[in-house]
Amino acid sequence: MSKKTTLKKPTILKGEISINFEHSKSYALMHLKTKNQQGLMAYMMSIFDEHGIDIAMAKIQTIKNRTRNLLLIEKTARLCDNEQNILNYFY
C-alpha cells in the first residue's frame, strides 16, 4: 500500500540551487544555499524519488536560519537530459 502526502513547496530563488555535472565521471554535485524552511528536505527528497534520482552522499548545514546543502547525486541519462526540468520543480 502506498500513501501520498502533500508537501508545501519551499521558496527557492534562482541562483540558490545549482547542479555541477562535471564533478566526476559518476556523480553530479548539487549546491543549495537558501533560507531554512520547514519541509525543505522532505520536498527535495520527494522530487528526487519521483524522478528516480539517487543520492550517494549529503551534507546538510544550517546556520542562522540559512541552509547550505551539498548533495552528491548519481549521474544517469535521465538526470543529465532533464537538468532544467528538474531545477524548475524547485523554483
What's the pLDDT score for residue 71? 95
Q: What is the pLDDT of residue 7?
A: 84
Task: Provide the pLDDT for residue 26.
Answer: 93
pLDDT along the chain (91 residues), means of 10: 77 92 92 94 89 92 94 86 80 80
**pLDDT at residue 78 in the model:** 77
Task: Show the DSSP H helices in 1-91 as ranges.
Answer: 40-50, 77-81, 83-88
What pLDDT does residue 18 have?
A: 92
pLDDT of the residue at 86: 80
Give CA–CA dist 54/71, Å, rounded: 10
In order of their start, the domains of the chain are 17-88 (3.30.70.260)
